[in-house]
Amino acid sequence: MRSRTGLLRLSLFALALTLAIPASAAPDVSPSRKDIQMVSPALDKYTQDRLLGEVWKRPGLSARDRSIVTVAALIGRNQTVALADHVKLALDHGVKPAEVSEIITHLAFYCGWANAISAIDIAKDVFAQRNIGPDQLPAASPALLPLNEAAEVDRAKRVNDQFGAMFPGVVQYTTDVLFRDLWLRPDLAPRDRSLVTISALIANGQVAQLTGHIPIGMNNGLTQPEIAEAITHLAFYVGWANVFSAMPVAKEVFEKRAR
């Protein structure tokens, strides 16, 4: 019988090899390691030596956080071919079913409803396999976390001053639905919501939004080294071009914050 470490390594290997395949083109079954070796021995070596051998073992981010980053990136890019195994891995790494549920709900607003529905179609089977029932999921309308009223008033004023005259609907929904409701749902900590949001923004190349969301994340408890490590992790899952687009924006935010 394989050890838990061996099974985890095989699972990660299969996941790593499918993440670049668009959901629309992905086969129903992930390629095996033998399949990959038949086509690209070099990819097999990079997967074993670098991704599995180094990246997932780096100390700057916990395995739980790496799973959150990866699940957010997969949902953000609608790469459902690898999502089932990564949801399982996230649960194994200590992400609660309620947190998985909230990640999907949160990303409906940041990556689109269709991406969230696609993720639900995958996650429901994982939940069924693990006997995860309604009692382990968040309430539809829970008691919300306390709001930092001063910070929210400041944020709302800045957005309204910039966009309110021309896009009043977006501005109003941003206040009422996102920052006075979604971000206050209690089953995903604000720090983790920020990690999810930053990961999804980078995954989708929406780096302009990092100027607002990295400071929010740091205010919510993320550290600069953790954000830097999340970006390092994402290089392997969303591509070097996306992280190199994100790094100048993140660097500027870090430098301004240090002044």
Amino acid at 159: V
Burial of 253 (0-12, 13-18, 19+ CB in 10 A): buried
Q: What does the buried/exposed string (b/e) look like for 10-37 if buried means 16 or more CB atoms within 10 Å of the residue's CB?
A: ebbbbbbbbbbeeeeebeeebbeeeebe
Give start and end residues of each alpha helix (H) in the chain: 4-16, 33-39, 41-46, 63-76, 83-92, 97-111, 113-129, 149-163, 168-173, 190-203, 210-219, 224-238, 240-258
Q: What is the DSSP letter of 29?
A: S
- Integer angstrom CA distances of residue 83 from 70, 212, 251: 9, 28, 30
At residue 10, the pLDDT reads 54
- What pTM was estimated for this model as a whole? 0.88
- Calculated CA dihedral for residues 59, 65, 71, 77, nearest 10 degrees: -70
For the chain of 259 residues, list the mean pLDDT of each consecutive stretch of 10: 53 53 45 89 93 94 98 97 93 98 98 98 97 98 97 96 98 98 98 98 97 96 98 97 98 93
pLDDT of residue 52: 86
**Nearest alpha-carbon partner for 202 in 150, 240, 168:** 240
